[in-house]
Amino acid sequence: MRTSGAAGALSALKREVATIEGTQASLEDGPSAQPFGIDGIDAALNGGLIRGALHEFGPAGAIHLGATFGFALALGSRALAAHRRHVFWIETTFAAAETGRPYGIGLDDFGLPARHLLIVRVPRPIDVLWVMEEALSCRAIAAVIGALTDDVGLNVTRRLSLAARASGGLGLMVRHRSSPMPSAAVTRWQIAAAPSRLDADGGVGHAAFDLSLVKNRHGRCGRWTILWDPHERAFRDPALSVGVAQAAFDRSDRPFLRAG
């Protein structure tokens, strides 16, 4: 009687310690890391982008800001699940003027249906951080994408990562300008747009990204170039992927320029 009581108490204690350390994943949320589907990246990240944590993204240059947002949206679109149906996009009105507002039709084309996106546009940067924290604490959100124009301190990122851990959501912090300041994010990426693979007729292809993982708490860093397939909502390795035949239609009346 006593030993079984002791064993039961021990397992209960173990569970409690695991919850405090944050390594226990909720059953219904699935695996605790979101894989990229590309071996090199998944190996460096030990399985994929860790859920319940904060990740930081910055552009490699000012012209790559659109690519950085696109990458964050692609990750958000992959994070959608049966009971986590929404992605939050949080920005200030100033940030919206700098990069443009999310465009529903384009997001549908990109692989993140606009009905899954909720936009919060606030006047002050400090409100962005508050809304991020509140949204990360909600268990119905798949991913929270916060657009930050200024630097934030270590305490702020620590609070955000704690909120993400408590609820298991994906926290994606997109900076308008890469900054070397320390942060409590689990990974830090620098994103640049890569020249896309031109399609069969020489038109501009789908999105391609140059990723640089510059800080990784649980593994090594690296650089990769990947493509995004909006129809499958998956990443593709450019060396391996074979172009999928597009639906045939008549394009003879459209003039375009060859790559030059």
Q: b vs e for 127-164, b when ≥16 Cβ sit within 10 Å of the residue's Cβ?
A: ebbebbbebbeeeebbbbbbbbeeebeeebbebbbbbb
User: How near is the Cβ of 138 to other proteins at its closest, in Å?
Assistant: 5
Query: Based on CB atoms, which residue is closest to other proteins, 55 or 64?
Result: 64
Residue 99 near residue 66 (C-beta atoms within 8 A) = yes
Query: Based on CB atoms, which residue is closest to other proteins, 85 or 220?
Result: 85
User: How near is the Cβ of 9 to other proteins at its closest, in Å?
Assistant: 25
User: How near is the Cβ of 3 to other proteins at its closest, in Å?
Assistant: 32
Query: Based on CB atoms, which residue is closest to other proteins, 110 or 189?
Result: 110
Q: Where are the alpha helices (DSSP H) in 137-188?
A: 154-167
Three-class SS state of 31: coil
User: How near is the Cβ of 243 to other proteins at its closest, in Å?
Assistant: 13
Bridge partners of 223, per DSSP, are 212
**Both tokens assigned to 163:** 């909120």
CA nearest to 129, candidates 97, 161, 86: 161
User: How near is the Cβ of 66 to other proteins at its closest, in Å?
Assistant: 3
Using CA atoms, how far apart are residues 45 and 188, in angstroms rounded to an integer?
12
User: How near is the Cβ of 106 to other proteins at its closest, in Å?
Assistant: 4
**Both tokens assigned to 179:** 């900054």
Report the half-sphere exposure of 209 (CA within 13 A, side-chain side): 29
User: What does DSSP assign to residue 27?
Assistant: G
Using CA atoms, how far apart are residues 91 and 201, in angstroms rounded to an integer?
37
- Provide the residue type at 243 as one letter: G
Query: Based on CB atoms, which residue is closest to other proteins, 242 or 248?
Result: 248
Using CA atoms, how far apart are residues 101 and 98, in angstroms rounded to an integer?
9
Query: Based on CB atoms, which residue is closest to other proteins, 180 or 260?
Result: 260
Query: Based on CB atoms, which residue is closest to other proteins, 135 or 186?
Result: 135
User: How near is the Cβ of 82 to other proteins at its closest, in Å?
Assistant: 10
Query: Based on CB atoms, which residue is closest to other proteins, 47 or 66?
Result: 66
